[in-house]
Amino acid sequence: MAFITTSPTKPKSFTFSPLCQARKTQTDKVLAFGNSNLQHKLIKTSFVYHVYKYNKRESLAIVNAASIESTEPKPEPEPEQIPEVETYGRILLSDVLVKRRRSLFSGRNWNSLDISTAGVVLAMHLLALFAPFCFTWSSLRVAFGLYVVTGLLGITLSFHRNLSHRSFKLPKWLEYLFAYCGVQSLQGNPIDWVSTHRYHHQFCDSERDPHSPIEGFWFSHMSWLFDKDSVLERCGGPNNVGDLEKQPFYRFLRSTYILHPIALGGLLYALGGFPFIVWGMVRKHFPLSCSVLIELF
């Protein structure tokens, strides 16, 4: 049958079923209902429509379930059990807890650098015992002058503020002069001193601090000086001083370090004899004690 594309001039009333009414409201074109293909299309359309509604309801149900699940409070994880750490009390006048004590003599190896450092410190204290018997005013002036030059200018100004922290800049000739004054303070060459101090600030009061107080008062005060291997175990080599290692002057001071204090000792003996040697060592107690006390507190 052919399609009727125009409305009849005298339309007759016709009662539509609900399906037909729904289809009629969607278009102004009137279709012939005797066509079997058309009925098949209507049934197929109705089936697809119901499947679509079913899938839509199912999707909404899944979304609602997911939203409900996401709003449900999750159980809080149980707090981790922190194991108790055995301590050995607090350091005097400090809030630092000592976690373990490192023995100076047992359970460690003494290398040549440790032995030489201990020998210098021992000699320094033994010579100081002769100070009351070798006192002269000129020796006292020498001690004070060396304290200012090697301690204040060499260690405090050069090694600490200028080289370690880069707090200010100096002309190279003046930077090298003050650094050489620090070498005469018998606290090591600039590269090793600066490396240790930078590691101290990086790992302050922790397991990796080169002279950590958690090892005990005496370790942080002075016994770390005689345990070079402990510094290497904690921090490794001096790989944080590339700015100094690339300068030939500081590499020269590192390779020839011990010769410079010996040369100063020979000069003091030539100028004032044994009293100058003794009081030259007495002045060494002031900057060394100040340095270790600052690092401790």
pLDDT in tens, 178-209: 999 999 998 899 999 999 999 999 888 888 88
Q: How high is the pLDDT of residue 40?
A: 47
Please determine, for residue 75, whether its predicted confidence score (pLDDT) is greater than 70: no
Residue 253 near residue 183 (C-beta atoms within 8 A): yes
CA distance linking residue 31 with residue 20, whole number of Å: 10
- Report yes or no: 231 and 210 within 8 Å, Cβ to Cβ: yes
Question: What band does 155 get if pLDDT is binned at 50, 70 and 90?
Answer: very high
Q: What pLDDT, on the 0 to 100 scale, is given for residue 198?
A: 93
Residue ranges per structural domain of the chain? 133-210+237-296
Residues for the chain: how many in total? 297
Alpha helices, H only, 214-258: 217-221, 228-235, 242-245, 248-255
273 torsion bin: left (phi>0), alpha (psi -120 to 50), beta (else): left
Give pLDDT tens digits for 40-54: 444 444 444 444 444
The CA distance from 24 to 191, in Å, is 96
Record the tokens describing residue 56, joined without a space.
């839509």
